[in-house]
Structures are given as structure tokens and as C-alpha cells.
Amino acid sequence: MNPLLDQLRAAVGAAYVLVDGDLSAYETDWRQRSKGKSLAVVRPGTTAEVAAVVRLCAGAGTPIVPQGGNTGMVVGSTPDDSGREVVLSLGRLNRVRAMDGGNLTVTVEAGVVLQNLQQQAQDAGFLFPLSLAAEGSCTIGGNLATNAGGTQVLRYGNTRDLCLGLEVVTAQGEVWDGLSGLRKDNTGYDLRDLFIGSEGTLGIITAATMKLYPLPVATLTAWAAVPSMEAAVTLLGLAQHHLGAGLTGFEVMGQFALGLVAKHMPQIRVPLYGQTPYCVLLENSDQESEPHAREQFERLLEAALEDGCATDAVVAENIAQARALWQVRENIPLAQAQEGLNIKHDISIPVSRIPAFCAETDALLQREIAGVRLVNFGHLGDGNLHYNVQAPADGDAPAFLREQEARVNTLVFDQVRKFDGSISAEHGIGTLKVDKLPHYKSAVALGLMRSVKRALDPQNILNPGRVLKL
């Protein structure tokens, strides 16, 4: 018998310490790339119980893997195969504690599902703007731990920009109550920003105070065909000029990426993609009226067609049409998975340099690896591309991954560095990129990060081996 397991059962209840049965939902990552083995899956129901679990694990020297919705892309929230790590699932911390309309804030626990928060905010007459493909299952705690991005970063910023305060359990099992709703607070180091994006390696986020916004009066969606990536960047500049802060979404999608949706999801209509290298999806959120928003869009698209940075365009006439256009964009990853195994890259490049990066890196990969197919799409408005590499059409996809993944990653990441970009824009580092990070992050930065980790988690029990290797 393991005395730690008995202590954990006493702390949170025997029903919430899982050691038997099918634990694959907790032990296998979302992309099915890694399956680990935990000592136990522990599901506390309160912040006090989280703190108790951490104190017990710290006393036993047992590592902890914090987990939200387990929708991460970089194998950062699942256990390794040692059988030593405790998975700390925060799904039961799922309450909206308070909504302050006057302060435009909402305080929520870490296990609240993003889509539920969006809906509760809307029901109260507000907008919570974080939006991403996994919103039906990802949680606020996970969003904060990875500083998630999504489709509206262009206007509202990453999750970090939406957060005003945190409640965090430290590696020693203490609780820091930093749930401030203040927008100005210059009283020392910004501990909030230290924990956001740290992927559970510095502390365990148990609650947060998040920003709300007024609901827009009208939200319109447009779809444009563009002749090149250069034209897409030009269209972005025009959209920023014509729409200003109303531009809340600007997604670019390559022809091959859209072709995969058309191929694997024939029930979804993909407009305008057949004769153009790229399409762009734009969203205009207006605080005045729908006629005003439509007039702005029409002026923008007229200017784009006259300039030549767009060759054709459509504006959704109703909510159903807008959802159908967004469905195309959101289904690219699923269509790519149905096409077969692939190598994913979540990169960011200065927007002005994206056309040159794509032209040069496309040519490099096609020269180095015969038959390689490029699935390029993403959040052009904030410089974030999902620059994915699909195995050759008639090749052995598993063999391609085994033999070429390391080489492809190096080719792409070296290009990212050449163009002053980042090898992880919004997905994080996890374990998938932990060995790559030292090659693309400065030694000074890594030294500072290790110093912070050692100071806050001297036992190295919080998500060890993720983000950094000490």
C-alpha cells in the first residue's frame, strides 16, 4: 500500500482519487502522441483541497502534473510513463464565483469550461472574447497556464491580456489570493504574469478574475480570395485602416488546407478557394448598428478589389452563413488529421515578414523533401501561423514522421529564427519542444527562467520536465 494514496483519499474523498479502470482521458494527450501512467488521478473540489494535495505530494517528494481540459498540443498536461506522477485534475473547480458588471470583470474557478464562461457572460449582456477551437472542452485554468490565443487576439489579446488577477497554490501548498479586479496596481513584481503561461511549472492556478466587454451591436463576417500572401498582408492593412478596433478577426488559409476540408467534409461548402492561393476570413464587430458595420465592410472590400489585394469576396448575410464560414476555418485541423499523419508547427513571425518567410520556407521544404505538402493557415492578424507539414500523398506516413520529423522541425525552426520569430506562438512548450527550446531561446533568458523555477519550486515537483529541463 502507498501511504500517500491513503492521505490523498482523506484529503479529497476516496471517490476522487482514481487509480484503477480506464484513465486514458487523463493519461493520453489530445493528439494521441503520448500515453503515460500516473500514480493516481486526483480531483479536488476546492482551492483548500488543491493546497492539501500539494502539501501531501511535496512531503512525499511526489511530482504533480496539473491538468485542465487536457486539450493541449505539446504534451504538457499528461503524466510520463514512470507511474510516479500524480495528475491533479481541476475539472471540479467549475464555479463562476462572481460577475461584476460595473467593473466589467468575472471571477471564475480554473475548471470552468471556456464555452460555458462565454455563454454565461453573454446571458448577462457581456462579451468574454477568448475563442478557440477547443472552447467546448478547454478550461480557463488551462487557457491561463498556456496563455492561449485563438481567433480574437488581434483585438483583445491573448489570455494574459484578459486576466486581472489570480488565485494560485504554490509548490509549498500555500494559497496566494491575488484575485484583484484592478486595472492599475504598481505595488511590486507582477506575480500574475509570472504564473500565466508557465504551464503549471511555477504554481497551480485555481481561480482568476477576467475582463468582460460590452456585447457588440453587430458582428459581420466576410470571406475574400487573395492572390498571394503579400496581398493578404496588404488586405490586413486596409482592414485595420477601414475598421479600426472593429476588426476582431483576420484568418488566412492556404488553398491546400481548404482543399482538405472540401475533400474530407463534403457537407461543408468552401467558397472561392479553387482558383486562388489563399483565402481570408474577416470579422467586423461594430458598436453602432448592423447597417453601419455592413457599410464599413462594403467600403473595405471595394477598396481591396480596386487595389487587387482581393480578387473576389462575399459577406455573410446572416448568423447561419457567418457560422458556416467560421466552420470552414475551424475544421482545417480535423480535416488535416483525416488526411493522415502530419507535423504541426505553431509559429509567429512579424506580420510584415510572413510573405517572405512562407515563400522561402515553402521552397526549402519542397526542395529538401520530395512530395511534401504544406498546410498553412492561422491568425495572420497577430502574426501566428499554423505552418504544418503533411506527409507525401503516396508515401508511408508513419515512416515519414519517424524519419523526417526532427529534420523538418529543424528546417522550419531555423527559418523562424532567421525571420525573428518564435517556435511557439500560442501552444506552449510542454515536453514536445522542451529539447528544442535551448536552441532557439537565449542562454540568458533560459538562465533567468531556471532561476525563477528553482526559487518557486525548489523540489521541482510541479510539472517537472515540461517547459524547462533543470
Instruction: Convert the pLDDT of each residue in 282-311 to its tens digit.
Output: 999 999 999 999 999 999 999 999 999 999
Short-list 88, 93, 92, CA closest to 63:
88
Spans of all domains in the chain: 3-89, 96-214, 218-333, 340-418
Grid-cell match 499523419, residue found: 341
Measured CA to CA, the distance from residue 386 to residue 324 in angstroms comes to 21
Q: Is 18 helix (H, G, I), strand (E, B) or coil?
A: strand
Measured CA to CA, the distance from residue 357 to residue 432 in angstroms comes to 23
Fold exhibited by the domain 96-214: 3.30.465
Question: Is 377 exposed, middle or buried, given 0-12, 13-18 or 19+ CB atoms closer than 10 A?
Answer: buried
**Contact by Cβ (8 Å): 291, 235:** no
Going by pLDDT thresholds of 50, 70 and 90, the confidence category of residue 1 is: low
Q: How far is CA 82 from CA 37, 56, 86, 318, in A?
A: 6, 19, 11, 53
Short-list 331, 356, 358, CA closest to 259:
331
Grid-cell match 517547459, residue found: 467
- β pairing state of 86-89 and 64-67: parallel
* Structure-model confidence comparison of residues 370 and 456, the more confident one: 456
Average pLDDT over residues 390-415: 92
Average pLDDT over residues 195-215: 98
Fold equal for 218-333 and 340-418: yes
What's the pLDDT at 395?
Answer: 83
Average pLDDT over residues 365-370: 93
Residue 209 confidence (pLDDT) above 80: yes
Average pLDDT over residues 48-58: 98
Short-list 57, 159, 171, 99, CA closest to 453:
171
Q: Which residues of 254-273 are buried (b: 16+ CB within 10 A; e: fewer)?
A: bbbbbbbbeeebeeeebbbb
Average pLDDT over residues 147-175: 96
Measured CA to CA, the distance from residue 148 to residue 157 in angstroms comes to 10
What's the pLDDT at 439?
Answer: 96
What mean pLDDT, rounded, does the chain reach? 95
Average pLDDT over residues 57-65: 98
Short-list 278, 332, 285, 280, CA closest to 133:
332
C-alpha cell at 236: 490586413
> Is CATH 1.10.10.10 the right assignment for the domain spanning 218-333?
no
pTM of the predicted model as reported, rounded to 2 decimal places: 0.94
Q: How far is CA 416 from CA 70, 73, 146, in A?
A: 28, 19, 21
What's the pLDDT at 377?
Answer: 96
Average pLDDT over residues 381-405: 92
Q: Which long-range contacts (CB under 8 A, 24 or more apart) does 174-180 make?
A: 174/51, 175/47, 175/48, 175/51, 175/206, 176/203, 179/107, 179/207, 179/208, 179/209, 180/209
- Kindly report, residue by residue over 309-342, the tens digit of the pLDDT: 999 999 999 999 999 999 999 999 999 989 988 8
**Contact by Cβ (8 Å): 128, 216:** no
What's the pLDDT at 32?
Answer: 77
Measured CA to CA, the distance from residue 172 to residue 455 in angstroms comes to 11
- Kindly report, residue by residue over 89-136, the tens digit of the pLDDT: 999 999 999 999 999 999 999 999 999 999 999 999 999 999 988 899
φ/ψ of residue 187, rounded to 5: -120, 50
Residue 254 confidence (pLDDT) above 90: yes
What's the pLDDT at 44?
Answer: 98
Q: How far is CA 53 from CA 82, 88, 98, in A?
A: 20, 8, 26
Q: How far is CA 47 from CA 39, 206, 215, in A?
A: 21, 6, 31
Distance of CA 3 to the CA centre of its chain: 38
Pick the CATH number of 340-418 from 3.30.450.20, 2.40.128.720, 3.20.20.60, 3.30.70.2740: 3.30.70.2740
Measured CA to CA, the distance from residue 235 to residue 307 in angstroms comes to 9
Q: Which residues are within 8 A (CB) of 363 and not within 5 positions of it... i.e. 6 or more apart?
A: none
Going by pLDDT thresholds of 50, 70 and 90, the confidence category of residue 48 is: very high
**Contact by Cβ (8 Å): 304, 238:** yes
Domain spanning 3-89: which CATH class is it, in words?
A: alpha beta
